[in-house]
Structure 1
Amino acid sequence: MKKYYPLLVIACFVLLYLGSIWQRPFFIPDETRYAEIPREMIASGDFIVPTLNGLPYFEKPVMGYWLNAAAMKCFGEVPGAVRFMGALGTLLSAGLLWLLCRRADEEKIGRVAAVVFLLSGLVFAVGTYGVLDAQFSFFVTLTMSMFYFAWTEKSRWKLAGYLALAGVGTGLAFLTKGLLGFVLPVLAVVPFLIWQKEWKRILFLPWIPLAAALLVLAPWSIMVHRADPDFWPQFLGVEHFQRFFSGRGANDDRSQPFWFFLPVVIGGLLPWLLFVPAIWLGYRGRAREAFRNPLLRYAACMGGVWLLFFSVSSGKLATYVLPCFPAYAVLIAWGLVRYAETGKTFREADWALRILFRCLLPALVVLFAVQAFNLFVPGKIPQHYLLFWRGENFFLPVIALMVFLLWIWMAKEAREPVYKFTCVCVAVGFAALAYPVSIPHHLVREIAPVDFLARNAGKFLTPDTLILADDRMAVVAAWTFRRSDIGVYYKKGELAYGLDRPEGEGRFYTKDALAELVRKTERPILVVTGSEKRAREMPASPEKSYRRSGDLFLVHYRPKGEKHP
């Protein structure tokens, strides 16, 4: 029976990642953006030049869009399809991590590292979210794994083959997020080879990967230059160098302080911070031995140098640091395995598990009591004091929290290291699986507006309706209504670059332009905004009506003389 345990674990992680991505609606702005660009590619047949709302959008190259388009062709234009490739890439990254450790004769560490990686908070959050960072991280992990294989290989032909695969990973990473696909491997490999006192290999190892990477990226790079010569100056000059040195891109400012990623990494490594004392004891007295191990040196170069590089950059988002997490998983796994080999029982983690249990158990009781009272005696408790409003299902979250606490209690009581580790993993995995169906709808309705638009806009839309939307809602409207001609109202936002080009002429409307349009046009107008202030500032008219949900507004102007339905 034990021989089937690895398959069972793999099946559980596949369920966790590929099962949870279908459960919740799109969150804006990222998920609708990375859904709309491949949708427009499919609709137009142009897979070379990325467009967003029909306007050139040069923030990233095309590989992530191609992969999302392929998933959408397979599964349909649904939220899960946009998240599928990121989730699959995360699972494959864990597989590469296991192979890397196995190559270093550390298979037990590889198994633990794969589990630590997949259950790390940031990894799961990004891996099941519709952004391109998980895909990029997979390609970088592929590059680094194949380079390590090449570094340990004695056969010249196999070495060349592994280096070529590393180059393929680099080329695909470049086609996903640009120059980082080259920069990150160099920043890790060079200090690793110097640390190994093999710096002379720096002179000849890069050429095969470089050639393979250029073969991968050259065809599209040439085609996009021919189709739109402005792509590379905009992408490299603004989205790379300007953003690195100033934090500002074409449409936004991502500048953050140097220490920004420190809390991101600490929070992203939950729940494994519970085991920090055990990890510390695993390394204590063995640090020199540990870092004579090439695998740990390799992981330290990846996790340390990359984190420093991301911190030096002015432009920062929490998801940028995701490629570091395979390295952190290896370092954590080594400490856990060495600690377990001493025969101790992870009792150093018991205090944290005990605090977690004692805090969440009363919270569970209070949550159930308050929600159940409101269910049977409605109106007695003001709605703003409730976590789940009337009509929202609170039974599933309560049950999920009960199961989570049960496994935490079992972990606290366990004395076998493997059993304690397993109980924590099951608790975290179950909580992650339940998370998408446990979010109170009213808390996310303003960042998940697609359902509201789809339900309500149909009453207003006709084939000749002119649709406008403000900067936050323009891409949402384009995706919801399957149109790439949405006018942008009030503020340009992330569409500023495309609106400032000839293709964007006449697509941007100020408050005065909207007032003039309402006064003169005989077409119906629908304006989507995520701001009550902007909705109130729109011109008054006898033909004006609206629908709202929180701060989301659909403002409709009927043609003159048409009666209110």
Structure 2
Amino acid sequence: MKSTKSILGLLIIIALYYLLPLAFRNLWQPDETRYAEISREMLESGDWIVPHFLGLRYFEKPAIGYWINNLSQLLFGHTNFSVRFGSAFSISVTTLIVYWLALRFWQEQYLALTAAMIFSSFLLVYSIGTYSVLDPMLTLWLATTMCSCWQAIHAPHGWGKKIGYLIVGVTCGLGFMTKGFLALVLPILSVLPWVIVRKSWKEVLCYGPLTLLSAVMISSPWIFAIAQREPDFWHYFIWIEHIQRFAEENAQHKAPFWYYLPVFLAGALPWMALIPVALHSAWQERHTKDEALYLLGWIIMPLIFFSLSKGKLPTYILPCFTPLSLLMARYATRWGERALKINATVNVLFGVICIAFLSGAAYTLGLVDTSFFSLTEGKKELLAVMSFIVWSIVGLITLKSPITRWRWAALCPLGIALLIGEMIPQKISDTKQPHSFINMVRPQLEKSRFILTNSVGIAAGLAWELQRSDILLLEEQGELAYGLRYPDARGHFIRQASFANWLHERCKTNEGSVSLILLLDDGKFPRNNFPPADAIFQRGRMVFLTYHQSKSWLSC
């Protein structure tokens, strides 16, 4: 009976967190608009080998992540749901893997369901699992690799063990095809402590060639295909995307070594207070329980690796939450009611603090410089406060009965999951969700022969919404700088200082109207830097300008 309720609860969480909200939020730039547009262009061109973004070569990632998104768009069409479904699907399958591995470790269905529920309700897992990036897919392949590795290690010698190591190679190859060499490095680092302590070097070295062989076989067709089509791909992918991002001083998203400590703690909500219980208990049993050391390595080694990297993003440590959920489920009650009460108290306090900040109380008291919402956004503010009231109420329920209801904490993020799309402040929406602004000026955009913008993220949003990849970049090249170096990319980028001359040439050849969308740094539009437009519309930090052939000052 208890397991039946847990299965139902898990299914409800997946439906409410990972399926229902996908279609009711605008896409965020730059990530979601980028991945949406790359897959749209792949489907439009029929070229599934070489990724293109705004019609330019885009060598930042291999192909399988795009293929998953391609299939999603084929199934669900040109929708926000389809853009995010690949991530949600990957996390949902990873949740099943968590369930299976817990069952394999401890042979307790209720414990396995608890682990799956904890994993699917982590704040970081939910946030990234409903967001279109490649990290949920990498997390899926790493979880599959670690499960396959455990099976292979414990399989009897013979064909069973050989097949196990071949499967490890297949999952590593699929991970490599999703996000590159990380999919090979992370499993090796994760199993390294276990291999050292258990002195399993001989077996790993013996069967390692089988793993390498299957990894090469699964990935080599695409590797050779893109090398033949675009010989420069592997230079960029290895040097720029891996070496520079990890070690160079000019790496993107630079952050200090300790960056992931607060990200890890906050990402573990609503189970954050159980981290000490889980890690300490596993450390105590590292010599007596094989799975304890195995899971610890899976958490700690990737954390150390990414902390050493120069470039850091919160999404990178998503794979660490898979083993963390297993340890939490196993050891949550090890310290009894005390640990569970602390966790419930943390959830109540977190909800109350968020309510204070979102309701403007923190601004009134001078704790922050500005309010999150403007005076006209009362509805959004109310929904935001309500979402964290839900968090606090669930925390209070678990605090009242910590022993019997501690698993209810999985419902803490429910308000956020259901309401987040309707409570984004306008000042954030204007710059990070270009959909609404684009639709306001859509009639003019659809009549324009040329569309320019100074933001790659906005360009991706324009291309996705208008289903055209010929959006031009003004002044800012961003992540497309490498693709713009190719001779056939000439004309995709225009310097702001040359814009007036470029506009005059378009008028001379009578090529049609021009629209321009600018993302401003400070909200102040420098009118003197641009030719007088036929129409100007500004909202927040975004400005729309349109130029027609009839403009008198452009008489040709």
- Aligned partners of 1:100 and 1:148 also within 8 Å: no
Aligned residues: 537
Q: Per-residue deviation at 1:94?
A: 1.7
Q: Which residue number in structure 2 is paired with residue 303 of structure 1?
A: 299
Q: Which residue number in structure 2 is paired with residue 377 of structure 1?
A: none
Which structure 2 residues correspond to residues 281-320 of structure 1 after superposition, within 5 A? Answer: 283=281, 287-320=283-316
What secondary structure, in the 3-state scheme, does the structure 2 residue paired with 1:238 have?
Answer: helix
Q: Per-residue deviation at 1:58?
A: 0.2
C-alpha change, 1:480 and 1:562, in structure 2 (3 Å) is farther
Q: Aligned partners of 2:101 and 2:12: how far apart in 1?
A: 22
C-alpha change, 1:521 and 1:169, in structure 2 (3 Å) is same
**Which of the residues 198, 213, 216 maps onto 2:215?**
213
Q: Per-residue deviation at 1:395?
A: 5.3
Q: Aligned partners of 1:325 and 1:247: how far apart in 2?
A: 29
Q: Per-residue deviation at 1:133?
A: 0.6
- Aligned partners of 1:388 and 1:394 also within 8 Å: no
| 1:347 maps to 2:347 | no
C-alpha change, 1:401 and 1:74, in structure 2 (3 Å) is same
**Which of the residues 112, 126, 129 maps onto 2:128?**
126
Which structure 2 residues correspond to residues 88-487 of structure 1 after superposition, within 5 A? Answer: 88-105=89-106, 107=108, 108-154=110-156, 156-246=158-248, 248=250, 253-275=252-274, 279=278, 283=281, 287-340=283-336, 346-349=340-343, 351-353=345-347, 355-356=349-350, 386=373, 389-390=376-377, 392-393=379-380, 396-415=383-402, 417-419=403-405, 421-462=406-447, 465-472=449-456, 473-487=458-472
| 1:559 maps to 2:549 | yes
- Aligned partners of 2:38 and 2:66 also within 8 Å: yes
C-alpha change, 1:524 and 1:320, in structure 2 (3 Å) is same
Q: Per-residue deviation at 1:156?
A: 2.5
C-alpha change, 1:64 and 1:356, in structure 2 (3 Å) is closer
Q: Per-residue deviation at 1:40?
A: 0.3
What secondary structure, in the 3-state scheme, does the structure 1 residue paired with 2:432 have?
Answer: coil
Q: Deviations over 1:222-268 (max 9, x none)?
A: 1111111111111112111122211546xxx2332222222211221
Considering only aligned residues, what root-mean-square deviation do their CA atoms show, in Å?
A: 2.8
Q: Aligned partners of 2:239 and 2:373: how far apart in 1?
A: 49
Q: Aligned partners of 1:365 and 1:47: how far apart in 2?
A: 48
Q: Aligned partners of 1:356 and 1:232: how far apart in 2?
A: 46
Q: Is the deviation greater in 258-267 or in 472-481?
A: 472-481
Q: Percent identity?
A: 29
**Which of the residues 540, 543, 553 maps onto 2:531?**
540
Unaligned runs of 5+ in 2: 365-369
Q: Aligned partners of 1:438 and 1:540: how far apart in 2?
A: 37
| 1:550 maps to 2:540 | yes
Q: Aligned partners of 2:132 and 2:52: how far apart in 1?
A: 18
Q: Aligned partners of 1:365 and 1:470: how far apart in 2?
A: 34
C-alpha change, 1:327 and 1:387, in structure 2 (3 Å) is farther
Equivalent position amino acid for 1:346 in 2: L
Q: Aligned partners of 1:418 and 1:321: how far apart in 2?
A: 31
Q: Per-residue deviation at 1:175?
A: 0.5
Q: Per-residue deviation at 1:339?
A: 3.3
Q: Deviations over 1:337-361 (max 9, x none)?
A: 4334xx7783344543554566567
C-alpha change, 1:404 and 1:354, in structure 2 (3 Å) is closer
What secondary structure, in the 3-state scheme, does the structure 1 residue paired with 2:221 have?
Answer: helix
Q: Is the deviation greater in 520-529 or in 433-442?
A: 433-442
| 1:14 maps to 2:14 | yes
Equivalent position amino acid for 1:11 in 2: L
Q: Aligned partners of 2:329 and 2:249: how far apart in 1?
A: 35
- Aligned partners of 1:388 and 1:440 also within 8 Å: no
What secondary structure, in the 3-state scheme, does the structure 2 residue paired with 1:468 have?
Answer: strand
What secondary structure, in the 3-state scheme, does the structure 2 residue paired with 1:467 have?
Answer: strand
Q: Per-residue deviation at 1:479?
A: 1.8
- Aligned partners of 1:392 and 1:441 also within 8 Å: no
Q: Per-residue deviation at 1:428?
A: 2.9
Q: Aligned partners of 2:351 and 2:516: how far apart in 1?
A: 48
C-alpha change, 1:18 and 1:458, in structure 2 (3 Å) is same
- Aligned partners of 1:100 and 1:149 also within 8 Å: no
Q: Aligned partners of 2:203 and 2:339: how far apart in 1?
A: 43
Q: Aligned partners of 1:145 and 1:292: how far apart in 2?
A: 20
C-alpha change, 1:562 and 1:315, in structure 2 (3 Å) is same
- Aligned partners of 1:247 and 1:316 also within 8 Å: no
- Aligned partners of 1:529 and 1:553 also within 8 Å: yes
Q: Deviations over 1:159-215 (max 9, x none)?
A: 233222222211110011111111111112233111112221121132222222111
Equivalent position amino acid for 1:139 in 2: W
| 1:514 maps to 2:484 | no
What secondary structure, in the 3-state scheme, does the structure 2 residue paired with 1:488 have?
Answer: strand
Q: Per-residue deviation at 1:517?
A: 2.1
C-alpha change, 1:191 and 1:479, in structure 2 (3 Å) is same
Q: Aligned partners of 1:317 and 1:14: how far apart in 2?
A: 25
C-alpha change, 1:537 and 1:7, in structure 2 (3 Å) is farther
- Aligned partners of 1:457 and 1:554 also within 8 Å: no
What secondary structure, in the 3-state scheme, does the structure 2 residue paired with 1:556 have?
Answer: strand
What secondary structure, in the 3-state scheme, does the structure 1 residue paired with 2:60 have?
Answer: coil
What secondary structure, in the 3-state scheme, does the structure 2 residue paired with 1:26 have?
Answer: coil
Q: Aligned partners of 2:305 and 2:433: how far apart in 1?
A: 33
Q: Which residue number in structure 1 is paired with residue 474 of structure 2?
A: 489
What secondary structure, in the 3-state scheme, does the structure 2 residue paired with 1:529 have?
Answer: strand
Unaligned runs of 5+ in 1: 371-382
Equivalent position amino acid for 1:30 in 2: D
Q: Aligned partners of 1:193 and 1:153: how far apart in 2?
A: 16
TM-score, structure 1 as length reference: 0.88
Q: Which residue number in structure 2 is paired with residue 524 of structure 1?
A: 513
Q: Aligned partners of 1:385 and 1:196: how far apart in 2?
A: 53
Q: Aligned partners of 1:468 and 1:147: how far apart in 2?
A: 50
- Aligned partners of 2:373 and 2:381 also within 8 Å: no
Q: Which residue number in structure 1 is paired with residue 367 of structure 2?
A: none
Q: Aligned partners of 2:377 and 2:209: how far apart in 1?
A: 63
Q: Per-residue deviation at 1:70?
A: 0.6
What secondary structure, in the 3-state scheme, does the structure 2 residue paired with 1:548 have?
Answer: strand
Q: Per-residue deviation at 1:13?
A: 2.4
- Aligned partners of 1:97 and 1:145 also within 8 Å: no
Q: Aligned partners of 2:394 and 2:499: how far apart in 1?
A: 57
- Aligned partners of 2:380 and 2:424 also within 8 Å: no
Q: Which residue number in structure 2 is paired with residue 78 of structure 1?
A: 79
C-alpha change, 1:349 and 1:468, in structure 2 (3 Å) is closer
What secondary structure, in the 3-state scheme, does the structure 2 residue paired with 1:49 have?
Answer: coil
C-alpha change, 1:315 and 1:390, in structure 2 (3 Å) is closer
- Aligned partners of 2:277 and 2:334 also within 8 Å: no
What secondary structure, in the 3-state scheme, does the structure 2 residue paired with 1:130 have?
Answer: coil
